[in-house]
Amino acid sequence: MAETKPMWTPAPEREGLGPLTGPRDFLDRVAASSPARLAMLAFVVAIALFTALLSLPIAAADGQRTPFHEALFTAVSAVTVTGLAIVSTPEHWTLFGQACILLGIFTGGLGTLTLASLLSLMVSRRLGLRGRLIAQEALNNSSRLGEVGELLRIVIGTSVVIQGALGLVMAGRLTIRGEHPLVAAWHGVFYGISSFNNAGFVLHEAGAAEFAGDLWMLGPIGLGVFLGSLGFPVVLGILQGGLRPSRWNLHVKLTITVSVVLLVAGAVLWGWMEWDNPRTLAGMPPWEKAVNAVFASINTRSGGFNVVDQNAMEGTTLLLSDALMFAGGGSVSTAGGIKVTTLAVMFLAIVAEARGVDRVEAFGRTIPEGTMRVAVAVIMAAATWILVGCFLMLAFTDLAMDRVLFEVISAFATVGLSTGVSAESGPAGAYILTVLMFTGRIGTITLASALAVRQRIQLYHYPEERPIIG
């Protein structure tokens, strides 16, 4: 009797993929389909792990299991390096819980695509071709693929050295301020990692206000936040090109230029609006007002450390803060927002259109039209998420619109500044803000990456017709 052949084969075999053989094969398939998916998977795994750890009784000071929404919110806030909190970090969490938060900050601060590369490396024990391509995209680098692993080590090593140096300086200062050397060392390391990764988590009940007027604390925190907000491609560009701007690539030039402009403009405007506010700066000497204005300008764009009560600021200052948070920091950095290069590209496009020039140029380079389309998509996606987030928060709470808008932008832009809405909005608000933090850290990057790589060649095009704009 002749053997009967099956009329069908399982889908994976029919497609030539074969059955899954283990975690390494699974990661290879995810990476092959989309590096952005592997990046998202890396963040989901990290969030699930830290949520489980923070849910343990050993993580809470009262020895009880932390409610799921609080553990999830804290884990997401740490891994997305946001810094929003619905429970007091120094009072609610034990040393174990604080260590989990710190490890989550360090892990999330590596960035989505860098973290995806490391996940692939840990599982497969080698950085294969796909992992190298992911890392190359993350670092915005055109080096040979054989050098990518070394570049990853340089970037991670540099960030560790910077965080260690910041922690050492602050540990020494905290010891001088009267803390026990071991406690000061722990606090110094925590603030060094939290500041460089733009996380904004604090271990003092008063937050950064504990150090108001202390340049030896505010200085390192502000410096760490600013350096972290520039992004790994900028760090790598400076390491390769030195301190000569002529040797920097366009991304490095745009990021540093716009970051400095926003820092100066933000400090001047913030200081001007709050200078005579009796609830914030009015009682301070002029030099301390100036220091706090610069510190606020740095942290409003992503850091999340604050010296003054956000609810005590003027309405105009809240609006300025909304704008700075929305702008954010550098691409592939620990900062959030739409990113300063997105802002720069859109500004340059507006200037070119106003001048009647058909090309967008900067620093002797022409910016491709595809880059401008990605910038528009990122801005529109961010604005849409913020709009939806505000609508849902207002629907589930009875809080004021200005406070809700501030909190939603802070969550989506992974800044961490708060007017208290996170703690007041209950479980429903916590889940909404959790989604916003995750989307803000993953969504715009994933969208930009997906749009950048999904370029198709069309064999035809329709006749042009120009609609009325404006």
Domain residues for 381?
Answer: 22-453
149 is a domain residue = yes
**Chain centre to alpha carbon of residue 226:** 13
Torsion sign (Cα): 201, 298, 386, 275: positive
364 is a domain residue = yes
245 is a domain residue = yes
449 is a domain residue = yes
Q: Model pTM?
A: 0.86
9 is a domain residue = no
CA dist., res. 242 & res. 109, Å (int): 24
182 is a domain residue = yes
Question: At 463, phi and psi to the nearest 5?
Answer: -60, 145
CA dist., res. 292 & res. 286, Å (int): 10
CA dist., res. 126 & res. 101, Å (int): 28
4 is a domain residue = no
CA dist., res. 407 & res. 271, Å (int): 22
Question: What pLDDT, on the 0 to 100 scale, is given for residue 124?
Answer: 45
pLDDT, tens digit only, all 470 positions of the chain: 444 444 444 444 444 455 555 555 555 555 555 556 666 777 888 999 999 999 999 999 999 999 999 999 999 999 999 999 999 999 999 999 999 999 999 888 876 555 555 545 544 444 444 445 555 555 554 444 444 556 667 777 888 899 999 999 999 999 999 999 999 999 999 999 999 999 999 999 888 989 988 999 999 999 999 999 998 788 878 877 888 888 898 999 999 999 999 999 999 999 999 999 999 999 899 999 999 999 999 999 989 999 999 999 999 999 999 999 999 998 878 888 999 999 999 999 999 989 988 889 999 999 998 888 889 988 999 999 999 999 999 999 889 999 999 999 999 999 999 999 999 999 999 999 999 999 998 865 565 555 555 555 667 778 888 787 77
10 is a domain residue = no
Question: What pLDDT, on the 0 to 100 scale, is given for residue 20?
Answer: 53
Question: What pLDDT, on the 0 to 100 scale, is given for residue 247?
Answer: 87
Number of domains in the chain: 1
